[in-house]
Amino acid sequence: KLGLDVDPEARIFVSLGRLVRQKGVDLLADIAPWLLSTFPKAQLVVIGPPGDGFGAYAAEKLDSLFSQNGGDFRGRGYVKCEFMQVGEDIKFAADFCLMPSRDEPFGYVDIEFAWHGALLVGAQAGGLGKVPGFYYIAQNRENLGRLRRELKHAIKSAMSATSTELDEMARSASKCRFPLRTWQEKLQDAYGSLVSTGTVAANPVPAGGAHSRAAEAEDELGDREFLRQELAEDELTLRVRSRISADSQANIIQVLEDIGTDEATKYEQELGCKWSVWLAQRTWNVTRVHWLVAIGYVMGPVTETLLYVVCTEWGLRGNIETPDWLPSSVASDSSLDPMSMSMVLFSTNSLAFAVGAPVWAAVARRAQPRHLMAVALLLQVPLHMSIVPVPPRLNLALLLMFMHGLVSSASLLFVVFNFMMAIQPDASKAAIRMGMLEVCRYII
């Protein structure tokens, strides 16, 4: 009926439902070639309409897979990326239901397949995990490489299970029941325990509370546009299809980053600034403004070293006049002991950093990023005093070190604000990028 080979030993994986990011369809499309190549007895059926850019990506990848490699996978795959009325025969024929969902409120598809004897292979996320199957727990839902590895591991476990084990699990799956009254009782007990322990208040939130807070935020923002409008879903879908048609090997992250670069370039072109357009473009697959910010952050110790040398030289000259507040044990003969000088300068710089870090963090919650970074850049102007021929004074040296501490405490703002859209919520990507920058910074 679906054009699959009739093979009693075949194990059929079925994915049924909307092709959207929530369902993890991009992961399914990425591992499909591996699944069919690694397990000759595996067959794949994917049915469902695309609902967003991720769905368009999956549809293009799967269509491309079976159209270009039809000879290799002939009779082992069926893809219909549109709505289709599915009867019980497909559910009875399936060995596994593929559901690599990033999130699932409850999930009915897994129950339907379980009652027909099919086991679930996918993520134990949200409402999934309530029927027998082979699951993985996503440690980082934004790390595509890790999600693919976890899904592959679950598939390997399913394919390595014996027929006896699968039959026993299928019988258990067909007997799963979820009585509504039992759920209501458990939910009421959970709410009761929270209220009794004081974890939550017994009184509900007043009606309109959330809306009033949103209205206050909107009034505070006014007519200023803080974030640009994202692409409409239809437009994003068209662009994803176009990118995949041009390069079938591209992954979803590359596709979305390319689309984002195009949009950023177009926005800057509308503003008419050639430098902004140049900075918005990419070199070696990284936005140029990110390169400049990273280089500036990594080269920070060079500035710090040069400034420290100048301030030390000012402090060690014999004609310096030490201030009255400096203890006589530190200063002698109107000059500073070299070791004491180093301690004073280092302590001043550290004190300024300790003061500046929480101040920048607090201001970052209220000020727009571009304003905050502009102020941080303007504070670097006094540091250029070190190249001006002025009479050396300890007070001046301490002032420069203090200003440097304040400015250097804001250096991470540039890295975070410039990388935040590329990193998004993926903590592992943020850790890797910051680790590489820190290594380079310490080497310099």
* Residue 199 · residue 190 · CB < 8 Å: no
* Residue 14 · residue 98 · CB < 8 Å: yes
How many CA atoms are closer than 13 Å to the CA of 430, on its beta-carbon side? 15
In this predicted model, what pLDDT tens digit does every residue of 210-219 receive, in sequence order? 455 555 545 5
Give the SS3 label for residue 243: helix
In this predicted model, what pLDDT tens digit does every residue of 99-132 receive, in sequence order? 999 988 888 899 999 999 999 999 998 889 999 9
* Token pair recorded at residue 249: 């090997």
Model confidence, pTM: 0.70
Distance from C-alpha of 440 to C-alpha of 436, rounded to nearest angstrom: 6
In this predicted model, what pLDDT tens digit does every residue of 216-255 receive, in sequence order? 545 554 544 445 556 777 888 888 888 888 887 888 888 8
**Core vs surface per residue 378-415: b (16+ CB within 10 A) or e:** eeeeebeebeeeeebbbebbbebbbbbbbbbbbbebbb
Percent pLDDT > 70 in the chain is 83
Strand spans (E) along 239-318: 282-283, 286-287
Identify any residues that bridge with 283 across adjacent strands, giving them in sequence order.
286
> 25: closest CA among 47, 51, 58?
58
Residue, of 381 and 347, whose pLDDT is higher? 347
* Token pair recorded at residue 409: 């405490």
If pLDDT is split at 50, 70 and 90, which confidence band does 425 have? low
Mean pLDDT of the region 355-375:
83
Q: Quote the radius of gyration of the chain (alpha carbons, Å).
A: 31
Mean pLDDT of the region 303-316:
79
* Residue 18 · residue 103 · CB < 8 Å: no
> 111: closest CA among 120, 103, 102?
120
- Tell me the one-letter amino acid at 217: A
Q: Which of 7-16, 89-98, 384-393 has the lowest mean pLDDT?
A: 384-393
Distance from C-alpha of 393 to C-alpha of 153, rounded to nearest angstrom: 67
Which DSSP letter does residue 19 get?
A: B
In this predicted model, what pLDDT tens digit does every residue of 14-71 receive, in sequence order? 999 999 999 999 999 999 999 999 999 999 999 999 998 999 999 999 988 887 655 6
In this predicted model, what pLDDT tens digit does every residue of 188-197 receive, in sequence order? 988 888 888 7
* Token pair recorded at residue 194: 């929270």
* Token pair recorded at residue 212: 């009033």
